[in-house]
Amino acid sequence: MFDFFGQRRLQRQGFSSGQKRRKPATHGWVEALRSGPAACGGLFVLFAAVIAVMTIFLADGEAIFAEKPLKALVVTIVIAASLMVHLYVNLPQTLADNARVLLLQIVIVAHLLLLRLAAYMAVTFAPEGGFLLLVATYGFAPMMISLLMGRNHGTLAAIYASLLGGLMVEKSVGLIFLVFSLIGSFVALYLSHKVRRRGKLMSAGVYVGLAIALLAIGLGEIQLPFLKGGFRGGLAADWEQMGRQCLAALVAGIVTSMLVSGLLPLFEALFHVTTDISWIELTDLNHPLLKRMTIEAPGTYHHSLVVANLAEAAAEAIGANATMARVGAYFHDIGKLKKPQYCIENIGEGENPHDELTPTMSALIIMSHVKDGVDLALKYKLKREVIDVIQEHHGTSLVYFFYHRALKQRLEVEEQVRLKKAHEEDIPEVKEETFRYHGPTPRSRESAIISLADAVESASRSLQKPTPQKIEQLIDEITTARLEDGQLAEAAITFADLTEIRASFCTTLRSMMHNRIAYPKSPPTSSGNLSSVGKEKQTGAEAPASEDGETPQGSSLAAKLKTGVALKSFLHLLI
């Protein structure tokens, strides 16, 4: 309330525009529930209770614990506890995030409910039997968890969903159900790993159905008619029964994939998870922000595309999420849409607006593109991971160009004071922290890669006549400087990863900046002779070059522009 009135007063006095930056909503109690150990323990108690109720009241009438509620409760508690221990030992990062624990538990419970629904439909529509093992949705939990959380979590879901599912079917088929469930789950897990198109989920469902049908034939759950009536075939009814059973297995696999595809966006929205499928959809360059960038900040747009290529290749080299790295690189500089004319890549041949500003003001304008980018990202509802990249891609690095300019101006004023041409109070105060970004530093591998790719791409523009040696030296210098400045301290980047990233950057930049053949501009008029125009304009190996690599025709122009080009390239390197 008081902030509101204070803001209004400043606005009336002309000291405020009345606009406020958007900030991600944060609540202390939400964070406590998300990471608190007490909440985690409560989730496992609730999970055990729900599974126990399902085992006692929803299981088949002839299930192993159908009339033994106490044993059912004990077994479900043991299974829930073993799941917790497994997470603690092998996946501690998941156990530390209660939202991910809840997601895993909800999907397993949904898997068991679908199994019971499939069993009910099998008994209702095919009372003669033989369909229970064929219509079960074995692949639901493994496929869903693999897409949302990764293959390791999908394997965990496959094992525990199979164990718990075996407690809910008739004890006479419990063992064979466990075999079907594990094989069907692992086939689904294998086929859904790193799926990047929703259409691939349908293919995975078809193959899971075929695998279940073949397994049923191999184990004798589907009787082959020619084994009954000789190789000329059995009764027509036997062939019809076999066809219905195979079709049921195939349809069950397709329905499972349709359920996964339909429910996937819901789970992504509820638990703030982004799958590879969604990342692929976000690579569409027709996003409104990217289309604005092509018009309002074309230099920044081109820079972002090159950074995306560098980051994607490097992420693939170290096994990080390459598609996420590409998307993050697309949007990392969207904050420059607020003041594109102050960014060196968008400044044309006219005057540089920074020439009229103090170094401190220039640094503030440049650094503001991070907060402006977060504001735009929240406005357009970009993914949380993309917002993190925008905040982290400069870390707490120094805007060195303007810091150096400020120090230079201070030395000039001090010299004026020494010569009695200025007063001591005219000496500007220069603090390094004023010229540093506010961070945080990169906290994920993808964010760290984008940060390095951003610096490398900007610096590469200042290279004159790039060679593989120059490119490699530049990349090593930037990587070492970022490492020594502590910009990679919070990212899970190893020295082995940095070696791979450097090599990837070198390969990508060499392919982008390779020298091209200098083609003659006019054909020879006769054998062995060129036209006078061709002789005057000819460039390349035949044209003599000066010591600095310029041809005689271009040396004077290069001399005139040398200072301006160097300053412009160096400014782009640092901001």
Condensed to tens digits (0 to 9), the pLDDT of residues 50-80 reads 999 998 888 877 778 877 888 888 999 999 9
Q: What is the pLDDT of residue 31?
A: 63
Average the pLDDT over 228-248 and give the result: 73
321-333 burial string, b = 16+ CB within 10 Å, else e?
Answer: bbbbbbbbbbbbb
* CB contact at 8 A, 522 and 534: yes
**CB of 471 within 8 A of CB of 448?**
no
> How would residue 323 be classed by pLDDT, with cut points 50, 70 and 90?
very high
Nearest to 500 by CA among 449, 547, 541, 466: 449
Q: How far apart, in whole angstroms, are the C-alpha atoms of residue 572 and residue 401?
A: 9
CB environment 122-134: b (16+ within 10 A), e (fewer): beeebeeebbbbb
Could you tell me which residue, 532 or 98, shows the higher pLDDT?
A: 98
b/e map 221-257, b = 16+ CB within 10 Å: bbbebeeeeeeeebeeebeebbeebbebbbebbbbbb
Q: What is the pLDDT of residues 190-214, one digit of tens each?
A: 998 878 888 889 999 999 999 999 9
Q: Is the pLDDT of residue 476 over 60?
A: yes
Q: In this structure, are residues 244 and 135 in contact, taking their beta carbons and an 8 Å threshold?
A: no
pLDDT band at 34; cut points 50, 70, 90: confident
Q: How far apart are CA 407 and CA 279, in angstroms?
A: 44
For 485-537, write each residue's pLDDT tens digit.
999 999 989 999 999 999 999 999 999 886 666 667 666 665 544 444 443 33
Q: DSSP secondary structure string, 368-393? A: HHHHHHHHHHHHTT--HHHHHHHHHT
Any idea which of 33-47, 75-89, 553-567 has the lowest mean pLDDT? 553-567
8 Å CB contact between 510 and 310: no
Region of poorest pLDDT, from 118-132, 251-265, 290-304, 443-457: 118-132
Query: What is the model's pLDDT at position 19?
Result: 59
Query: CA 451 to CA 437: how far, in whole Å?
Result: 13
Q: Which percentage of the chain shows pLDDT scores above 90? A: 59
pLDDT score at 3: 59
- Asked whether the beta carbons of 389 and 447 are under 8 A apart, the reply is yes
544-560 tens-digit pLDDT? 333 333 333 333 433 43
Domains delineated in the chain? 29-276 (1.10.1760.20), 283-395+442-514+558-574 (1.10.3210)
Which pLDDT value is given to residue 14?
Answer: 54
Q: Supply 523's token pair.
A: 């054909």
Residue 491 Cα distances to 352, 487, 501, angstroms: 36, 9, 14
User: What DSSP character marks residue 64?
Assistant: T
Cα 495 from Cα 156, distance rounded (Å): 31
**pLDDT value for 495:** 94
Tell me, what DSSP letter sits at residue 529? B
Interval 117-165: pLDDT, tens: 998 888 887 776 668 889 999 999 999 999 999 999 999 999 999 999 9
Cα separations in angstroms, 456 against 378, 482, 498, 565: 28, 11, 13, 18
- Within 10 A of 491 (CB to CB), how many other CB atoms are there? 21
**Measured between alpha carbons, how far is 422 from 415 in angstroms, rounded to an integer?**
9
Is the pLDDT score of 569 beyond 50? Answer: no
> What is the model's pTM?
0.79
